[in-house]
Amino acid sequence: MTHSLSIAIDGPAASGKGTLARRLADYYHLPHLDTGLTYRAVGRALLIHGLPLDNVSAAETAARQVDLRNLDREALSAHEVGEAASKVAVFPTVRKILVDKQRAFATQPGGAVLDGRDIGTVVCPEADVKLYVTASAEVRAGRRLRDIEGRGGHADLAEILADIVRRDERDMGRADSPLRPAADAHLLDTSEMSIEAAFQAARTIVDEVLAKRNEA
């Protein structure tokens, strides 16, 4: 009998949670949603229309227009779009509109992998497996720098680090659905781990949950 499997992955910016989520989704043949893209789509819509990022009603309209089947990762990957996403993500009404869409994705038959900031705590509190992926701010800044340089770009490590610290403060400090590990999340500190090692550790956790379920 085929069971459904839902995996919730949370963590701060540049923690490696997205790569891990994609690897797990591939391995367990599950659909994947990077929920950060939904907040990015809202932030980008406001930037494109030249609207202030605290225009809540415009952000709500943009949130209603978000189509999960049509999220352009490339267009949404820009640094300023991430910053804008983090700013519009503080508004509870915007979050509610996006969370409803994310829940619909999470509860599809067969299950899914979702990654973001509030997946284990708010979007999928009933997930079969919850992972909280983190790494020190310095390690995350170093990874981001290598990423930018690997794509032929240039950046300053101190500036990236300052950005990461500011983003952490906003995402962890907001009143509605702040970034924090769910009480039953498995913590995965990847500061000293390769992505391969992080994937193997996560796979072991998921396989243990599946094995327990089969025993039951």
* DSSP-derived 3-state class of residue 6: strand
Position 118 contacts ligand DC (CB under 6 A):
yes
73/213 with CB nearer ligand DC: 73
The set of residues, in sequence order, having a beta carbon less than 8 Å from that of 10 and lying 6+ positions away, is 17, 115, 116, 117, 118, 119, 120, 121, 130, 131, 132, 133, 179, 181, 182, 185
Binding-site size, ligand DC (CB under 6 A): 14
75/211 with CB nearer ligand DC: 75
Of 25, 45, 86, 130, the residue at the interface with ligand DC (CB under 6 A) is: 86
Position 117 contacts ligand DC (CB under 6 A):
yes
CA geometry: angle 192, 194, 198, nearest 5 deg: 95
What is the rounded CA–CA span in Å between residue 106 and residue 178? 20
Q: Are 4 and 107 in contact (CB under 8 A)?
A: no
| Closest approach of ligand DC to the CB of residue 154, in Å | 21
Position 13 contacts ligand DC (CB under 6 A):
yes
89/185 with CB nearer ligand DC: 89
| Closest approach of ligand DC to the CB of residue 40, in Å | 6
Of 25, 89, 137, 202, the residue at the interface with ligand DC (CB under 6 A) is: 89
89/97 with CB nearer ligand DC: 89
Position 167 contacts ligand DC (CB under 6 A):
yes
Q: Are 5 and 30 in contact (CB under 8 A)?
A: yes
Q: Report the amino acid identity of residue 128.
A: D
What is the rounded CA–CA span in Å between residue 162 and residue 168? 10
Stretch that binds ligand DC, among 64-72, 104-112, 114-122, 184-192 (CB under 6 A): 114-122
DSSP-derived letter for residue 134 is E
Name the site residues for ligand DC (rule: CB under 6 A). Answer: 13, 35-36, 39-40, 82, 85-86, 89, 116-118, 167, 171
